[in-house]
Amino acid sequence: MSPLTRGNPGETHLMMGNEAIVRGALEAGISVAAGYPGTPSSEIIETLAKISDDIYTEWSVNEKVALEVAAAASFAGLRSLAVMKQPGVNVAADFLMHLALSGVRGGMVIVAADDPGALSSINEGETRLYAKLMEIPMLEPGNFQEAREMTCWAFELSETLNMPVLLRTVTRLSHASGRVTLGKLPIPDRKAFFRFDGDMLDPMEGPIMTPPVGIKHQSQQKKLQQAAKLFEESPFNTYEGPESPELLIITTSICDLYSKEVVALLGVKDRVGVLKLGTTWPLPAQPVLSRLATTRNVLFVEEVQPFIEEAVKVLAAGSQLDLSSLTFYGKYSRHIPMAGEMNPERVTAALSTILRLESGPVSPVSKNYPGTSLPPIPPREISFCPGCPHRASFFSINTVLQLDNRQGFTCGDIGCYSMGMLPGGFFTLKTLHSMGSGSGLASGFGKLDKFGMDQPVVAVCGDSTFFHSAMPPLVNAIHNRSAFTLVILDNSGTAMTGFQPHPGLPVDTKGNQAPPIDIERVCRAMGATTRTCDPFDLKATQKQLLEFINGKEENQGGVKVLILKQACALSPKKRHTQSFEVAVDPDRCIGEACGCNRICTRVFACPGLIWDAENNRATINDVLCAGCGVCASVCPQNAIQRKEFP
Amino acid sequence: MIALNHDPYNLIITGVGGQGNVISSRMIGNMLSARGFQVTIGETFGASQRGGAVMSHVRISSTTTLSPQIPEHQAHMVVSLEPMETLRVLESYGNPDVGVICNTRPTHPIGVISGRLSYPSMEEMEKTITRLSARSWFFDATAMATKIGDPIFANIIMAGALAGTGELPLDRNVFEETLKSKFPPNKVALNLEAYDKGYGMINRD
Amino acid sequence: MQILGPTELSHRILNGDLCTSCGACADLCPYLKSHGVKIANVFACDRETGRCYAACPKTGVDETLLSETLFALPWKDAPLGHYRRLYMAKQGPKTPKGNYQNGGTVSSLVIAALEQGVIDKAVLTGSDGIMPRPRMVTTAGQVLECATSKYIAAPTMARLNRAATEGDRNLGMVGTPCQMTGLASLRTNPLARSDFEDPMGMVIGIFCTWALSAQGLFSYLERQEIDPLAVRSMDIPPPPAENALIALEEEVKELPLDDIRKLVLPGCSVCPDMTALWTDLSVGALEENPEWNTLIVRTERGEALVDRAVETGLLEIQPISQTSVDNLTLAAANKRKRALAARERLGMLDPAFQKPVEVQPKQTIMGFK
């Protein structure tokens, strides 16, 4: 049993940031939680689904729907949680703007997990600006304990204001672990009922909608003022340092820990104070202004955009402070980089420059340490796992587009298969943007024949991405007679984020039976020509794809959908199983000789293979090989042989 | 509470995606947290699972909550599941006083498999690692783990070895308790075997 | 002659518009593959030397080596190459009836070779409308299906390479001079592979002066409002005809030869070979008499096949007139002269053409981190 549900108040446990958020939500007595998987947010819904039978947990089809599902619970008087990574907030933004205006009833918290440094994302987007844009209050936990406490309090705040509350976390908090002292788990009253027959403007009993916009917007503004007032007293805003510091650091989120650690490490605790803000929108005026009055130098430490920096400057400009006596350091002064995540080194560099410290921005250890002048260490490019169906799929897509020889290209999408842009995916992807955008771009490219474009267009998307946001562009393409081939890389789960189920699978979020939605039948019903192949069967896959791409007269043009179905090698059902015993016959392997030039290791490059340069032969890495046997089909010499396991 | 050699104590566990870094760091973190230490574990996962380099920063203090990132060149111990990753970690976090426990089984990155890059020889790496650290231990934990039944146990062998160094107050009983709360009995026995094998690899003099 | 690799082949020939799609470089390895009438580079191969380069008739032809390997004779620079006999020939009384363009000599010889067991299978060029399609055949019926003239270049050699790589031996092949040159180069075992075996049982060349670009012809037909896929066959009558005949379902359209000639592959202009010099037998039209073919017998085994074909009634031969020989020699010499001039003009005789190409390696991306 998990301490998340069992732990008693006062106990201390080592918890991941995301687990602390889960505990906070449980302590707030939530009834409904919905989200869409995305690093670094996934563990929240995943954990809730695993540990609690009292609440309804859902992996929704996308973030907008997740927000709507959570909002419905709130409308019915229950506390609810919506969870997503930052790009998901973009997806949910349309509904969010209306929800912010209409207001909510039961406490409702949106956890948005940002990924500064794009550690597992393909952008470095910021959720905090949404708080301002949507005009809703925002909290930013700065450590593990706060992650629990703030989450719990956010529901109370939401109910006080009748507004959704944004809780912004980052990878370095969500995926890090630290000690959390637990609070009390309530026994909530979970009676859902949607009242709608009160007065139009009654937040608790009337219908819930945005009109009349003028009045609602005014009331929204009043609520924000109320929030700012509450934030003035909030214990989540703290100050540590001398009464009149030479330099005041204003920081938030995990950057607080970097700042405090570096201040201690550099021995400048008597010169530098740290104002940590936990309630970052609307910015509470008093705690900030009173601190600004005690110093002449201010450094902002935050990621990724200068959000607090701007807000504080606006606040200062409207205050009685003598601005000429204040110097602001931060992203605008370039003391803190505009892009990338924060770390102790960046804070060290900024402090060293501003305080003119002798050690300078370089740590004294590194100057004489020989480790800093090593010859280059080969980088470890990420790639598809041994036995990954995507490697085989991209091998075939690439082969077919080259054979077709009209400079066809592939529009990428979001999932493990985004790595199709890397050498391990044969550089197959030529565009890569948001969820579902591969299909949308392909729909557009497919209409450019009118302007002389005769390059074949392929789009890829995963099974989960298909439901998330590839269906509308597919409908668009079919209706508008666009022409492209959509390859659905169906590996039976949301693999990149840890095999969360999606609507195509016969199980729901909690693993109970659920009606699966058949991707191929959906596509056919839309009007696409569809086929399904096993990507491990390179020959059949390539034949079908070639037919779709430079097809025979009868199926020329239009939208074709090829479903390449093969479960992920790491999926629970496949892990630790091997279809084949794979071995290399050294007598047949010709290594680098003409006729092969080791296509298995040089091109196909599965990590389950080893290139033995000394003997000019390939071998199998017994520890890593997943036994899919695809390399045997790639080998032109029949040197790689696969034997079915009995 | 037992005093730490250094406070904060900065431990890095490194390896390649899929080698069980995260489990290893959490086991060690739990063992220390259970003894009342403030533990912060910093790690990233997601894309790094797919054969990329992975690194967990385990930070231990008896007084304060630390950030999830160890400042450059401030590691006290590097536990490495892959030899080349040891070098990568030392390059950024090493210092003349650092200790190293290194699994000698290489995992070739794609660039090496495809022949664009070459993988340094173990001899060469061992020499460099010895030069870059105050004390170091080398053994093939993957081979030992395979003997126990699964190469994945290399991560627990390394945890056992770390305990063997006596650098941190790691208690086998706490490890066993933690195992029992997470794994079925047959797995507990195998993990304990791995832990003890690793413990035995360290020459304590 | 220096053998370079796929990089040079791609840069100088495939992308340099000198490729005539003979297919000699294709399907020897997993990298260069034929698809339709095109050669595609599926994945990059970074070898500095390759059979693909050695096989290409455009990168340069080592005539001395070919002559010594195939005929065990020193190369002599004669327009018609080595030959033992010259005949006029046509199908024999036992040859099944077919839609032969001239005397049906090629089909008769292939059928004879199959019947005599000289070869087990043969790689020919069939067609699908006007699109040529390489085919592997084993029966007389299949041979007849392939018996029409093709005007579009076809990668027939790729089909042969595939068969040879898969282990087929005792193969027959009918092909154009560029295809035959590619085949001959491969039969010299360039790069000296230890597992090399000559897969050929009989090599029959056909005379050629040029071939058309498929893409060029298709777009030309489309401009003439003819659906290329609806064309059943195409025929270019001997001079003084001025029009090509395009047979559709219900009518035959005539298109000016002057237009058609503009669609000739640029690579054909550098081809010095009219009569397929590197074969056992070479066959072409006999200008003086469309009922007959010219037959050049180059090797002993070619001669034996001709004799057996005549004996079994599959072939008729007659002595050829000196005028015909003179005309043929002159035409072949002229083609050779023009090709050498073209090669010089295009810088192909420049030593730099035989030097490795420097390429920047494709950028490596570190990944998401």
Query: Is the distance from CB of C209 to CB of C274 less than 8 angstroms?
Result: yes
Calculate the CA B183 to chain-centre distance.
20
Residues of B in contact with A143 (CB under 8 A): 65
Chains that touch A (3 or more CB pairs under 8 A): B, C
Helix (H) or strand (E) holding A262: helix A255-265
Q: Taking CB atoms and an 8 Å limit, are C31 and A595 in contact across chains?
A: no
Domain membership of residue A375 (yes or no) is: no
* pLDDT for the residue numbered A574: 82
Say which range, A345-349, A365-369, A373-377, C92-96, has the weakest mean pLDDT: A365-369
Residue B203 — very low, low, confident or very high, per pLDDT cuts 50/70/90?
Answer: confident
> Which residues of chain C are within 8 Å of residue A341 when distances are taken between CB atoms?
none
Cross-chain Cβ contact C368/B111 below 8 Å = no
Whether residue B38 and residue A178 make contact (CB cut-off 8 A), yes or no, is yes
- Non-local (6+) Cβ contacts of A319 within 8 A are A285, A289, A292
A563: contact with C, CB 8 A cutoff: no
Give pLDDT tens digits for B125-180.
999 999 999 999 999 999 999 999 999 999 999 999 999 999 999 989 989 988 88
Separation between Cα atoms, residue C104 and residue C98, nearest integer Å: 8
For residue C35, list chain A residues with Cβ-Cβ distance below 8 A.
Answer: 403-405, 546
Taking chain C, what is the end-to-end CA distance rounded to the nearest angstrom? 47
Question: Which of A39, A176, A497 is nearest residue B43 as measured by Cβ atoms?
Answer: A176
Taking the Cβ of residue A417 and every Cβ of chain B, the question of whether any pair is shorter than 8 Å is answered with: no
> Minimal Cα distance from B116: which residue of C?
C364
Dihedral angle sign, alpha carbons of residues A609, A611, A616, A619: negative
Which residue in chain B is spatially nearest to A38 when comparing CA positions? B46
A305/A343 Cα distance (integer angstroms): 15
**Residue A564 backbone class (left: φ over 0; alpha: ψ -120 to 50; beta: rest):** beta
- Say if residues A36 and A468 touch (Cβ distance below 8 Å): yes
Q: Are strands A108-114 and A165-170 parallel, antiparallel or unpaired?
A: parallel
Q: Pinpoint the alpha helices (H) of A504-582.
A: 519-526, 538-549
- Distance (Å, rounded) from C-alpha A289 to C-alpha A285? 6
The beta-carbon contacts of B117-126 under 8 Å, at least 24 apart in sequence, are B117/A378, B117/A379, B118/A378, B118/A613, B119/A378, B119/B84, B120/B84, B120/B87, B122/B83, B125/B83, B125/B84, B125/B86, B125/B87, B126/B83, B126/B102
Cβ–Cβ of A366/B90 closer than 8 Å? no
CB B95 within 8 A of CB B37: no
Of B38, B71, B91, the CB nearest to A345: B71
The single-letter code of the amino acid at A176 is A
Give A508 to chain C, closest Cα distance, Å: 31
Kindly report the average pLDDT of chain A as a whole number: 94
CA–chain centroid gap for A178, Å, is 21
Residue A268 CA to residue A294 CA, distance in Å, equals 17
Q: Are the C-beta atoms of A6 and A55 separated by less than 8 Å?
A: no
Tell me if C369 and B116 make a contact (CB, 8 A cut-off): no
Please report whether residue A24 resides in a domain.
yes
Which tokens sit at C249?
């379902």
User: What is the token pair recorded at C97?
Assistant: 């009836």
**Residue spans per domain, chain C:** 6-213+265-354, 215-261
* Amino acid (one-letter) located at A607: P
A199 within 8 A of A206, measured Cβ to Cβ = yes
A400 lies in the same domain as A536:
yes
Residue A235 to residue C88: CA distance in whole angstroms: 107
The CATH classification of domain C215-261, taken from the options 1.10.3470, 3.10.450, 1.10.357, 3.40.50? 3.10.450
Most confident range (mean pLDDT) of A119-123, A537-541, A566-570, C14-18 is A537-541
Compare all CA atoms of chain B with the CA of C368 and give the residue at the minimum distance: B47
Q: Is it the case that residue B47 has pLDDT exceeding 70?
A: no
Interface test with A, best of B35, B44, B88 (most A CBs within 10 A): B44
List the chains bordering chain C where 3 or more Cβ pairs fall under 8 Å. Answer: A, B
Q: Which of A176, A383, A613 sits opposite B51 (nearest CB)?
A: A383
pLDDT classification of B49: cutoffs 50, 70, 90: low
3-class DSSP state for residue C300? helix
Please say if the pLDDT value at position A467 is more than 80.
yes
Using one digit for the tens of pLDDT, what is the confidence trace for A170-199? 999 999 999 999 999 998 888 999 999 999
Among C364, C365, C366, the strongest candidate for a mutation testing the B interface, having the largest count of B CBs within 10 A, is C364
Question: How far apart, in Å, are the Cα atoms of B98 and each of A265, A365, A374, B74?
Answer: 18, 12, 16, 8
Q: What count of Cα atoms within 13 Å lies in the side-chain half-sphere of residue C202?
A: 29
Angle at alpha carbon of residue A497, lines to A492 and A500, rounded to 5°? 50
Burial of B146 (0-12, 13-18, 19+ CB in 10 A): middle
Distance of CA A574 to the CA centre of its chain: 25
Are A271 and A204 in the same domain? Answer: no
Chain A: give the shortest CA distance to residue C41, in Å. Answer: 6
Average pLDDT rounded to a whole number, residues A587-610: 95
What is chain C's mean pLDDT, rounded? 92
Domain housing A40: 3-232
CA distance B45 to B55: 9
Of A71-75, A224-228, C258-262, C293-297, the range with the lowest mean pLDDT is: C258-262
Contact between C124 and C143 (Cβ < 8 Å) = yes
Please give the residue of chain C at the shortest CA–CA distance from A403: C40
Q: Is the pLDDT of residue A269 over 90?
A: yes
Mean pLDDT in residue range A578-600: 94
CATH of the domain at A619: 3.30.70.20
- Cβ-Cβ contacts under 8 Å between A and C: the total is 84
Please report which confidence band the pLDDT of residue A363 belongs to, taking 50, 70 and 90 as the band edges.
low
Give the 3-state secondary structure percentages of chain C, helix then strand then coil, rounded to 5.
35, 20, 45
Residue A327 in any domain: the answer is yes
Asked if C362's CB is within 8 angstroms of A427's CB, the reply is yes
Question: Does B51 reach chain C within 8 Å, measured CB to CB?
Answer: no
A377 touches chain B (CB under 8 A): yes
Closest to B80 (Cα-Cα) out of B115, B132, B30, B148? B132
Distance, in Å, from the CA atom of A18 to the CA atom of A196, rounded to the nearest integer, reads: 35
A592 touches chain C (CB under 8 A): yes
Closest by Cα among A525, A452, A450 to A481: A450
Residue B204 — very low, low, confident or very high, per pLDDT cuts 50/70/90? low
Helices (H), chain B: 21-34, 83-93, 110-113, 122-132, 141-148, 154-165, 172-182, 185-200
What CA–CA distance (Å, rounded) separates A488 from A509? Answer: 22
Condensed to tens digits (0 to 9), the pLDDT of residues A399-456 reads: 999 999 899 999 999 999 999 998 899 999 999 999 999 999 999 999 999 999 999 9
Q: What is the pLDDT of residues C225-239, one digit of tens each?
A: 999 989 998 988 877
Are A157 and A20 members of one domain? Answer: yes
Same domain, A219 and A335: no
Residues A606 and A512 placed together within one structural domain of the fold: no
Residue of A nearest to B107 (CA): A607
Q: For residue C100, is pLDDT > 80?
A: no
Look at residues A208, A232, A256 and tell me which one is the last residue of a structural domain: A232
Which pLDDT score, from 0 to 100, does residue B46 have? 55
Name every chain A residue with its beta carbon within 8 A of the beta carbon of B58. Answer: none
Q: Helix %, strand %, coil % for chain B, to 5?
A: 45, 20, 35
Helix residue ranges, H only, A556-610: none
Q: Do the strands A559-565 and A484-490 form a parallel or antiparallel pair, or are they unpaired?
A: parallel
Q: Which residues of B touch A252 (CB under 8 A)?
A: none
Backbone angles phi, psi at C113, to 5 degrees: -65, -40
Q: 């783990």: which residue's tokens?
A: B145
Q: Does residue A458 sit in helix, strand or coil?
A: strand
**What's the mean pLDDT in A110-135?**
95
Any idea what the Cα angle at residue A183 is, between residues A181 and A188, rounded to 5°? Answer: 155
Res. C247: pLDDT tops 80: yes
The helix/strand/coil state of A186 is: coil
- Closest partner residue to A382 (CB to CB) among C36, C50, C367 is C367
Q: Domain check: are A405 and A547 in the same one?
A: yes
Residue A497, pLDDT score: 87
In a domain, A35, yes or no: yes
Beta strand extents in A241-400 (DSSP E only): 247-252, 272-277, 297-301, 327-329
* pLDDT (tens digit per residue) in A546-557: 999 986 544 567
Please tell me the predicted confidence (pLDDT) of residue C36: 87
CATH number for B9-200: choose from 3.40.920.10, 3.40.50.1860, 3.40.50.300, 3.40.50.720: 3.40.920.10
Q: Provide the pLDDT confidence category of residue B110 given band limits of 50, 70 and 90.
A: confident
- In a domain, residue A370? The reply is no
Residue C102 has pLDDT above 80, yes or no: no
**Residue C287 φ then ψ, to 5°:** -55, -35
Quick one: A246 and A106 in the same domain?
Answer: no
Q: How far is B185 from chain A (nearest CA, A)?
A: 15
Q: Which of B16, B116, B117 to mutate to test the interface with C (most CBs of C within 10 A)?
A: B116
Task: Indicate the number of domains in chain A.
Answer: 4
Closest CA to A465 of A507, A492, A494, A443: A494
Q: How close B47 comes to chain C (CA, Å)?
A: 7
* Yes or no, beta carbons of A426 and C43 under 8 Å apart: yes
Among A233, A259, A210, CA closest to A71: A210
Q: What is the pLDDT of residue C367?
A: 38
Binding-face residues of A in 83-142 toward B, CB within 8 A: 119-120
A174 and A79 housed in the same domain: yes
Confidence at residue A575, expressed as pLDDT on a 0 to 100 scale: 79
Report B:110-129 residues touching C (Cβ under 8 A). Answer: 111, 116
C369 touches chain B (CB under 8 A): yes
R_g of chain C, CA atoms, integer Å = 20
Distances, alpha carbon A428 to alpha carbons A143, A403, A431, A514, in Å: 41, 14, 9, 35
Q: Which of A143, A265, A384 sits opposite B50 (nearest CB)?
A: A384
* Subunit contact A175:B52, Cβ cutoff 8 A: no
* pLDDT, tens digit, 9 for 90 and up, residues A306-321: 999 999 999 999 999 9
Please, are residues A173 and A131 in contact by the beta-carbon 8 Å criterion? no
Q: What is the mean pLDDT of residues B28-44?
A: 91
CATH at A533: 3.40.50.970
In a domain, A496, yes or no: yes
Share of chain C above pLDDT 90, in %: 79
d(CA B89, CA A46): 32
CB proximity B1 to C under 8 Å:
no
- Cβ neighbors of B24 (< 8 A, separation 6 or more) are B13, B56, B79, B81, B155, B156, B158, B159
Distance from CA of B161 to the nearest CA of A (A): 22
